A and B are shown apart, each in its own frame.
Chain A
Amino acid sequence: MIKPRKRMRYDGVVVAAPASTPYERYSTETAHWWIAKALRQSIKSAGLAPRDIDGFSVASFSLFPDTAVGLTQHLGLVPRWLDHIPQGGASGPSALRRAARAVQCGDASVVACVAGDTNHVDSFRRMLSSFSRFAQDASYPYGAGGPNACFALLTDYYMREFGVGREDFGRICVSQRDNALRNENAVMKKPLTMEAYLAGREISDPITLFDCVMPVAGAEAFLVMREEDAVASGIPHAHISATIERHNAFAEDPIQMRGGWEMDIDELYGMAGHGPGSVDLLQTYDDYPVIVMMQLEDLGFCAKGEAARFIADKDLTVSGDFPHNTSGGQLSAGQAGAAGGFIGLVEAIRQVTGTAGATQVADAKRALVSGFGVINYDRGVCTSAAILEGVS
């Protein structure tokens, strides 16, 4: 048995240049197009040029037959460090922590991390049927198609196990819609009331329309670079206090009631030097509200099964006492494929660098971002999280 060693901190490395494209319901453009759009925006906002990018990290489902390699030639990048992150909703913090080590160790000076996908009229259905081998063999043939079935089942279990009602989930969805109304890139433009939430069209019991994200096209990007370079160039930036990542945790659980965060939060907060109570805002992965509740529990905000009660007396909006998914999250901004794994992180960078504009949380200094991805069969396999701290 080999004991894990204490990890090095991310001293001297910062994250900067958050970029988000507007999201579109359907697009005739390709993933390459969307990725280029976010990348250009990010690089430009830092006052850099493409030739300054010597590290490149990509997350996307719809690049086929290309990978990050094909993109270098397509986009004319000449990186000396290249990564492809197939972690879906967990890809943001995972891309960040890899890039941070590359910069820290000198393998690259500026890493551009980008996630994006297109959404053609029939691409979502096609993507679902070939998503993973286990999904193809053992979940897709059962009717719901894609993650709706898995999340319906675990939402059903969660509700009965912990006595949670649909209104509890509704609180999350309604507050995120409020936040999305401040985000001009979001696809959802109309307010959502609790009544409308509860009256949402049935999808797969107990999941209804407003529990589900809308697949869209879009892209998100950020840069990871040396702190001295960011300071010298006057680029707004944030420190990386801690990150974690875990895959296929708790495989022995008969149905997913917790994610890999639970295995690693002591290390997360240990490295950051503070607990969950010290963060100013939280960005969770929110493809369905039940998974938001699991993150609240597994990230230590409350005990297992207590999330509904925890949020009951909290205001989750931008101006509330517990700002959560401040750009509207995927539930209201849309799920742009793998960019759904970046949306919370990119928004968190804006928040702690004070550049969030209309969604800015007052005095936001510390943000916790968590990712959850890849419903490989019956549960999400990848989990990740990162704590960012602004420079005062």
Chain B
Amino acid sequence: MVTPLQKPPKKNPQVRTRVPTLPSHYRSRSALFMAATAAEGRFMLQVCAEPDCGFVQYPARDACSSCLSDRLVWQDVSSRGKLIATSTVRTSTNTYFRERTPWRLGTVHLEIGPSVMCHLHSEVAVGDEVQLINRLDKSGQSVLLALPLEKAPLQEDDMQLRELTCDPKFRRILITDARNPNAYALAKNLLEAGVSAVFVGEAESWRPYPDRAKLESLQGVELVSLDVTDTSSVQELAGEFGGKVDILINNARFVRPGGIQGRGDVSFAMDEMQVNYFGMMRLAQAFAPAMAGRSADGVNSAVAWVNVLSVYSLVSNPGFGSFSASNAAAHSLSQCLRAEMVSSGVRVVNVYCGPTEDEWHQPLPPPKVPASTLARELVKALQAGLEDVYVGDIAKDIRRKFMESPKVLEKEMTSLEAL
């Protein structure tokens, strides 16, 4: 039985906040592929590509342990297996685990061959058929956890699973831009996911926008003053709310069509950089340190920083070329933020979104991403504990092509035909 998660009591300011510790982050370079696939929640192992072999390897190797070939290919494989041995760790040489004992681990004999050591969900017992998931732990590295085949009631409340996810349940959220047409859908989906509070940042509150009344009508939503282009506004809010933000969702975005020559000047480009790039930097400078300090703070510890990016941060969409460039800058900055947050265990989640259903993308043909889809996928990704999320068919298509060959994708996006 999963012990249901209890809503955390009000924080006692007298009690020292627990300093974050981490599980071991050391991995070989080959094993980093496990982390890369864990970022998207995939279960892939190396399979020998020699026609007469096909041996499945684990742990990650540099040569096949059946035929010595170096043709090892990472493939999506079955994650099902049998839990053949278990142990409950009562004491550990590692501080992170020592603070979290009792901690269960087990040996799963996968149906595709190898045996793996893994973390255990509380609903699995020795002898059970289980399915493994590959996720990032607090150190940002890949680990495996065995789940029951059938989803258990309150499965997400399991302590060991929750260490790997960024489940918003009982957590407090800051959405940075109330004016973004996705703000209402985000707030609504988060509330349905059981969050304790949603703060939504609002710039220039005197200027009306369509969703304000709807946002205000949501129980649990609080509009707060925040302008990501204004350093003092960001710092002011951080001073007041910095210690209460468990998940920050940076959805602030400035978007206009156009590339370089059609615009004639750089004023829109500067707005794009102000919001999409410097906005993220201002938010990170103001909020990230407090979040990093609260990443081991119990049920509502700080857990994730979410950037809603355009998938054209990976490759220019010349029709929105300047916007793409500002997102490329923001994407690069998010990688820097990941590096700076890794020691805290706070995950930086990037949501790569295709063209959205809004006024600035109005002339574009479908498929476009409705706000409700973005919100649903984003919340699901937090619950599942993902680090990279691609929302919409176009984003998924770009992802696949980017993984295959960034240069071929660039050729496709910048060809005469595309323009």
Q: Which residues of A contact B (CB under 8 A)?
A: 124-125, 128-130, 133-134, 136-146, 148-150, 152-154, 156-157, 160, 201-207, 251, 254-255, 377-378
Contacts and interface: CB of A to CB of B under 8 A. Distances in A.
Q: How large is the interface on B (under 10, 10 to 19, 20 to 34, 35 or more residues)?
A: 35 or more
Interface string B78-100: 00000011111111111001000
A165 B301 CA distance: 42
B109 A377 contact: no
Interface in B334-373: none
B23 to A, nearest CB: 5
Given A138-B116, A143-B92, A153 B106 contact: yes
Interface string B102-119: 010111010000011111
A148 B91 CA distance: 10
Contacts of B289: none
B65 interface: yes
Interface in B216-238: none
B363 to A, nearest CB: 49
Interface stretch (B24-32, B69-77, B290-298, B307-315): B24-32
Contacts of B109: 254-255
Nearest to A379: B115
A211 to B, nearest CB: 12
B97 A145 contact: yes
B141 interface: yes
26 contacts: A124-B93, A133-B59, A136-B28, A137-B27, A137-B28, A137-B30, A137-B34, A138-B31, A139-B117, A141-B137, A141-B143, A142-B105, A142-B143, A143-B94, A143-B103, A146-B93, A148-B89, A152-B89, A156-B85, A156-B86, A202-B90, A251-B65, A254-B115, A255-B109, A378-B115, A378-B117
A255 B107 contact: yes
Contacts of A255: 84-85, 107, 109, 115
A144 B115 contact: no
B126 interface: yes
A145 B92 contact: yes
A131 to B, nearest CB: 10
B87 A152 contact: yes
B241 interface: no
Contacts of B26: 129-130, 136, 140
B60 interface: yes
B58 interface: yes
B107 A378 contact: yes
B84 A157 contact: yes
Contacts of B28: 133, 136-137
B118 A142 contact: yes
Report which residue of B24, B31, B126, B139 has the largest number of chain A beta carbons within 10 angstroms of its beta carbon: B24
